[in-house]
A and B are shown apart, each in its own frame.
Chain A
Amino acid sequence: MGTIVIFIQKAIGQGMCILFGADGEILTEKSGNLNLGVPGMMYMGGIAGLAAAFLYERAVGAPSAFVGFLLSFLAAVLAGALGGLIYSVLTTSLRANQNVSGLALTTFGVGLGNFFGGSLSSLSGGVGQISVATTASAYRTKLPLLSDVPLLGPILFNYGILTYFAIALSIVMAWYLNRTRQGLCLRAVGESPATADAAGINVSLYKYLATCIGGAIAGLGGLYFVMEYSGGTWTNNGFGDRGWLAIALVIFARWRPMNAVWGSILFGALYILYLYIPGLGRSSQEIFKMLPYIVTIVVLILTSLRRKKEDQPPESLGLHYFREER
């Protein structure tokens, strides 16, 4: 019993980081932008949040966890949005290729994260690893009372605030995309920008906003990893391939935020499954770590085999739209 509870906890812990990235990318892709810069934006958000908390904790003698929380949250959102903005300027305004721009953004963002993660403390005259224990404690605070409920408590209420934020965000996104007029307009931009344009929708504005907000959400994924998962420390390349897994999750979820919620927990579970299967040698563990990717490939193949209309990517995903070139 205890093992299963811990397994679920760990799976959710792994999953939320991916969920943020996937939610951001869903919003971005709904506007027709295939932003392969998600890993970069996650790094940018993570390091910005960490740096904000670090500088604040150093500047103030007795840092308050709440202020650190606010500052780092804000910094992560802004940094992620900045990544989205760079991508939007390149692809929407300057008409550069989406795939290449996204990869360039990933190069930039990962470099930025690792650069500051590795040298922030030495640049500011300190030594050793960065650690922002006070701020991280705010992120790691569990729900009082509820987390003490037997069985349900450890499984449902044993997480920091960002976990609940991620799930709430997915619900809001699902509602926004499917139940509001703006959401309809956004989907129209992603499906057929020419039609949307003819209907009087400002295509560029929607693309810009969706990509920047999507970037901000992806940035929160980085913040989650740095604060709640790692407890306010930085390891170079510590995110591993979570940014790409987020892109995989978008496909797995078939561009629906609610699917992404359970999908992210499933991915998290697959990610750590090897730790819980008895009798695995060190080498066969590595084979087990392939699972999330293989599952994604299978889903990708199945969706293309079934050709169900509602499971397809946005029609104009990855394509440019320029009014003058119709």
Chain B
Amino acid sequence: MARTKRGPHEPLIHISRRADCSLLRAMLVRLAAIVLALVVCGVVIVALTGLNPLEVYAGIIDGAVGSSRRLWVTIRDALALLLVGVAVAPAFKMRFWNVGGEGQILVGASATAAVMIYMGDKVPAGVLFPCMILASMLAGLVWGAIPALFKAGWNTNETLFTLMMNYVATQLVSFLIVFWENPPGSNSVGLINASTNAGWLPKLGGWTYGWNLVIVVALAAFMYVYMRYSKQGYEIAYVGQSVNTARYAGISVKKVIVRTMCISGALCGLAGFLLVSGAGHTISTSLSGGRGFTAIVVAWLSKLNTFTMMVVSFLLTFMAKGAIQIASQFNLNENASEIITGIILFFVLGCEFFINYKVEFRRHRREG
């Protein structure tokens, strides 16, 4: 009886890193993931509500871009999201998890509102707007720099620190709302400078949100150049790759961490300015609406590429706006959008695996 000679146990699935994945292939995988996600969402919608998913999707499209006004609101909110995405991207490049965008937006918004309230009717618009922008950026900068200083000095965990700073900021805003409330007892600030419109971003040309568009696109372009072609951008990438190598190359890692977080925080603060001055003209604790968190997802899915970020932030805002429409149209709850967004995110996050890795099953070899 001859024993069949067996090699070592071979695993069923073999996973290896894909050496190169063509752009076309990568795009096809992502597209497949989104289609698959929409199918799953459709199944979920039918199972839960019994509605025709195609009608629901049509409702989403109508709600997001169905009229000129809706389209502009979608663009306005996508721009705000994009700005936060652009703001957190440099920090991520450096492997600094700035999950404090939410708080940095809120303090930036508070600073803007403060300038509007206290200086609105005292100075001309030419002075007022620069003051508002500076104040918002400074506030965001401070909020972002605090965790960065501790990270640089004592390696304090930045994910958790920035996360906690969000809630300190939220409470600060609740405090300010009671402080500024108008009318008294309403627990809301109401429209700031409703009679004079001082500090409201004006129309640009015929475009209601023209200034938002100009500011965000200009900053996105600037940050693209900064990250890609400046010495500082190179240093950020270096620190993100390996702290030790960066140190060996003579880069002051601490300085880079603090400087980058100052930029990141300041831009988030500026997003707060846009949300107050260029959109709502008021301040509330829900002002930022989770953008600080969503922007992380935007930046990550886009691999920190500014142009991809534009697409992703528009897509996510599109879903959110569309869901508000289906909520009223089908008498549902508007939180449906978060479920759909969540499912799409799961699929898109998961599909990266199939772009980066090759999965091979064990081949059955017949032994003679």
Contact = CB atoms under 8 A, between A and B. Distances in A.
Contact of A89 (B99, B179, B350): B350
A118 B335 contact: yes
Interface residues of A, number: 59
A41 to B, nearest CB: 12
Given A100-B349, A290-B168, A111 B341 contact: yes
Given A99-B97, A283-B178, A90 B349 contact: yes
A95 B338 contact: no
A198 interface: no
Contacts of B163: 244, 247-248
A123 B49 contact: yes
B160 interface: yes
Interface stretch (B68-76, B148-156, B248-256): B148-156
Contacts, number: 161
Nearest to B15: A324
B29 interface: no
B154 A304 contact: yes
Given A108-B339, A115-B335, A244-B167, A283 B175 contact: yes
B334 to A, nearest CB: 8
B156 A301 contact: yes
A151 interface: no
A290 B171 contact: yes
A178 interface: no
Contacts of B48: 123
Interface stretch (A135-143, A155-163, A167-175, A291-299): A291-299
Interface in B16-60: 16-17, 48-49
Interface string A96-108: 1101110111111
Contacts of B97: 99
Interface in A65-104: 86, 89-90, 93-97, 99-101, 103-104
A90 B164 CA distance: 26
Contacts of A300: 156-157, 160-161, 164
A27 interface: no
Interface in A270-321: 281-284, 286-287, 289-290, 293-294, 296-297, 300-301, 304-305, 313, 318
Interface of A: 34, 36, 86, 89-90, 93-97, 99-101, 103-119, 122-123, 236, 241, 244, 247-248, 251, 281-284, 286-287, 289-290, 293-294, 296-297, 300-301, 304-305, 313, 318, 322, 324-325
Given A95-B357, A244-B163, A247-B163, 17 more contacts: A96-B353, A100-B296, A104-B349, A107-B342, A111-B341, A112-B342, A113-B335, A118-B333, A119-B332, A286-B174, A287-B172, A289-B174, A290-B167, A297-B161, A297-B165, A304-B155, A318-B159
7 contacts: A90-B350, A107-B297, A112-B339, A115-B332, A244-B166, A248-B163, A297-B164
A-B pairs, top 3 by smallest CB distance, nearest first, are A111-B338, A108-B342, A118-B333
